[in-house]
Amino acid sequence: MTRPYRGVFPVVPTIFDESGRLDLEGQKRVIDFMIDAGSHGLCILANFSEQFMLTDEERDLVTRTVLEHVAGRVPVIVTTSHFCTDICVERSRQAQQLGAAMVMIMPPFFGATLRVPEAGIYEFFRRVSEAIDIPIMIQDAPMAGTNMSAAFLARMAREIEHVSYFKIEVPGAASKLRELIALGGDAVEGPWDGEEAITLMADLDAGATGAMTGGGYPDGIRQIIDPYVAGRRDEAAAAYARWLPLINYENRQCWLLAAKALMKEGKVIRSDFVRHPLQPLHPETRKGLLEIARGLDPLVLRWGL
């Protein structure tokens, strides 16, 4: 795929065995499934990848393993977020060297109260941009607790060379996307939807050109995006209504555990282990997730059988 990148770029879960060690063979199977399921591209080491559970050495190993296994089949976005500018710069430089198509970065934050003002955020992204030659996606998410106005994001798009993609997943995402597109113009190469696609139709109507969703059912998200892009909005809306119960279950009930539960059920992976202090799904929650999924028959439930 050539730029601008568009379509479905789901987050790849990080796979562990039952003892909590990286399962690299399972990781490769997940990559193959997600590509077979229609992903236009992939994102690794995001929050839904449990990036906050990995050592630096594990991050490097996952990055190398995934990029080597993808081998150019689809573009791969590598999340390189860190509070420290120099560490984020080094992570981003390394991701580019290994073959990343883009890096995704949250604004610097730490804990419940430590935030950086606009001037510091601007300088943070400017320094990362100067260190690399691939696009930067700014992840505008509630987790950061950092308010970045559409005007500020558009200013960075216009003034910082590689800042050109934006994953908007804050309340009122559609309104923010509209304002960002209006203010940023051509500098906003990729206004994208996030938050597991729970606001996907509204965001597409606002001008979103990409969706970064959970990794369990890219084929289902394609059923929404493909007809929308082709001008068949009614068909897209019907597909959205059909898949929304599963999207809602992932977004509101299961969080990052949904993709792993679906992948284990479909024998894509052997284990859906999450590292402590995260807790496994309650059996009744898992049951509800799988009941909804079976009614939709996503590829994930058949791929490994």
Place of tokens 């997730």: 289
> Phi/psi at 191 (nearest 5 deg)?
-85, 115
Q: Among residues 173, 226, 183, which one has the least CA distance to residue 203?
A: 173
H/E segment holding residue 85: helix 85-98
**Choice among 167, 176, 260, 264 that is catalytic:** 167
Q: How many CA atoms lie within 13 A of 140 on its CB side?
A: 24
Active site residue 264: no
Q: What tokens were used for 215?
A: 């990794």
Contact of 13 with 256, CB cutoff 8 Å: yes
Query: Which residues neighbour 252 within 8 Å (Cβ) at sequence distance 6 or greater?
Result: none
Q: Which amino acid is it at 83?
A: F
Q: What tokens were used for 202?
A: 């509204």
The DSSP bridge partners found for residue 168 are 140, 193
Number of Cβ within 10 Å of residue 262's Cβ equals 27
Annotated catalytic residues are: 167
